[in-house]
Amino acid sequence: MNLKGTLPVLILQVLSEGDKYGYAIAQEIKRRSRGVLDFKEGSLYPALHAEEKKGLIQSFDRTADGRHRRYYRLTDRGKEALAAQRTEWRRLSTAITEILAPA
Amino acid sequence: MSDPYSRIHWHAQFKHLKPWTDVATKGLSEDSRARVLEEMTAHFEDAIEAGMRHGLSEEESARRAVEDLGSAWRAQLAFRRTYLTRVQASTLGQLVETPLRSAPVYCLVALSMIAEILLDAHPHATANVVRFALLGVVVLSGLIRTVAVPRIFRQGRRRAAVVLGGTSEFLVWTCFIISGRSPAERHLWVVALFVLIFGIGYIPLAIKIERQHLEELLEKRDHPKE
């Protein structure tokens, strides 16, 4: 299923649970979507960089297990944006569920 | 620039990842490209090692890792929405950071126009007045391009600066061309060509700058404390 435009909010959600690097974010989204979402890992980085430019997340370098990686963390602004988008998503999904329910 | 690819699984990186990143980062400025390559390489290494832990060969892991990345063309489009392209970064740099570098060229253009007017005066006085007027436009446009545009940009009016910069540069070259005594039909073609060149160069840049500026304004409006 292709849910265009939902990747940014999924990224914010994953990062709200802790700092992560790109590959770990991609794996977490895949694991939790159980293969339902048509998620291509190449689309992750443009989305990460765009969110960073908006100030919703910030990146920093960290070396772990001898590997140098760029980690991402949610900013205060990102936390507020995530809360707002969660509320919006619930409203939207409730509305769609009601429309799709048999009359 | 140093080699952006790491030494781990380097053969697989060159065979599988490089063709993907070549497309995905095509046209991006060097800084942006380096940033993307750094992360894509780390991602690719992680993906290969995860595949190998599941019993796949390095070759098969690498092939699947690139498959999982999806379309490089889609990634290129997405990166271009976020970053300035090489041409746009260079245009913006010339416009804002190194505007005085073009000053000698504009001086040369103005001097050659003066020389042409003095050495090759037109029999009709009105024509010479027009040529002097064109000279005035060149001088004024040159001043706007080299002095006013960077200031306007620093004041935060970015789209205005890009549009003004492109327009003034267009005027300099157009006035220079039409001040000569070649046939008027040729002038029209040259002006049309300039409109095309400057339109391609500056309009997308102005749009992108404006979009980024609007996003910043919206963020400031939504989060006034930060």
CA distance B127 to B209: 41
Put simply, the answer to whether B42 touches A43 (Cβ < 8 Å) is no
Final residue of a structural domain among B82, B102, B121: B82
Q: Which residue in A40, A47, A76 is closest to B70 by CB distance?
A: A40
Q: Express each pLDDT in B132-158 by its tens digit.
A: 888 888 888 888 888 888 888 888 787
Is B94 found in the same domain as B56?
no
CATH tag, A7-100:
1.10.10.10
Which of B29, B53, B82 to mutate: most A Cβ within 10 Å?
A: B82
Q: Does the residue B5 lie in any domain?
A: no
Give pLDDT, residue B226: 47
Predicted confidence band of residue B185 (pLDDT cuts 50, 70, 90): low
Q: Are residues B207 and B184 part of one domain? A: yes
Counting the structural domains of chain B, the total is 2
Query: What value does the mean pLDDT of chain B take?
Result: 80
In this structure, the number of other CB atoms found within 10 A of the CB of residue B57 comes to 12
Note the pLDDT of residue B109: 84
Of B36, B47, B68, the CB nearest to A45: B36
CA–CA distance, B131 with B176 (Å, rounded to integer): 9
Mean pLDDT of A27-36: 87
Residues B40, B142, single domain; the answer is no
B215 part of a folded domain: yes
Chain B residues in contact with A42 (beta carbon < 8 A): 20, 24, 69-72, 74-75
Rama region for A65: left / alpha / beta (φ>0; ψ in -120 to 50; rest)? left
A19 touches chain B (CB under 8 A): no
> Of the residues B82, B114, B132, which one is the last residue of a structural domain?
B82
Residue B3, in any domain of the structure:
no
Indicate if B78 and B127 belong to the same structural domain.
no
Q: Are the beta carbons of A67 and B68 separated by less than 8 Å?
A: no
Whether residues B102 and B66 fall in one domain: no
Mean pLDDT of B101-113: 83
Question: In the predicted model, what is the mean pLDDT of residues B51-72?
Answer: 91
Are residue B186 and residue B90 in the same domain, yes or no?
A: yes
- Residues B135, B59, single domain; the answer is no
| Encoded tokens for B63 | 């092939």
User: What confidence category does residue B99 fall into, taking pLDDT thresholds of 50, 70 and 90?
Assistant: confident
In a domain, B208, yes or no: yes
**Nearest CB neighbour to B43, from listed A22, A50, A55:** A22
Q: What are phi and psi of A68, to 5 degrees?
A: -90, 125
Indicate whether B17 belongs to any domain: yes
Output the pLDDT for position A71.
Answer: 95
Domain that holds residue B217: 86-222
- State residue B177 phi and psi, 5-degree precision: -70, -45
B124 shares a domain with B57? no
Please report residues of A whose CB lies closer than 8 A to that of B50: 27
Decide if B50 contacts B42 (C-beta within 8 A). no
- The reported pTM is 0.68
**Of residues B172, B196, B40, the one with CA closest to residue A41:** B40
* Residue B2 in domain: no
Say if residue B170's pLDDT is above 90: no
Say yes or no: B211 and B147 in one domain. Answer: yes
Tell me B156's DSSP state.
Answer: T
Asked if A23 and B223 come within 8 Å (Cβ–Cβ), the reply is: no
Q: Is B73 helix (H, G, I), strand (E, B) or coil?
A: helix
Q: Check CB contact under 8 Å for A42 and B20.
A: yes
Q: Which of B52, B82, B112 is the last residue of a domain?
A: B82
Give me the interface pTM, i.e. the ipTM. 0.86
Q: Is the pLDDT of residue A102 over 80?
A: yes
B165: closest CA of chain A, how far (Å):
25
Q: Is the pLDDT of residue A20 over 90?
A: yes
Instruction: For residues B135 and B175, give the distance between their C-alpha atoms in angstroms, rounded to a whole number.
Output: 7
Query: What band does B20 get if pLDDT is binned at 50, 70 and 90?
Result: very high
pLDDT recorded at residue B111: 85
Residue of B nearest to A30 (CA): B68
- The CA distances from residue A15 to A71, A72, B45, B142, in Å, are 10, 7, 22, 49
pLDDT at A57: 94
- A46 interaction partners in chain B (CB closer than 8 Å): 75, 78-79, 81-82
How confident is the model over A89-93, as a mean pLDDT? Answer: 91
Q: Is the pLDDT of residue A2 over 60?
A: no
Report yes or no on B108 lying in a domain.
yes
Q: What is the pLDDT of residue B1?
A: 44
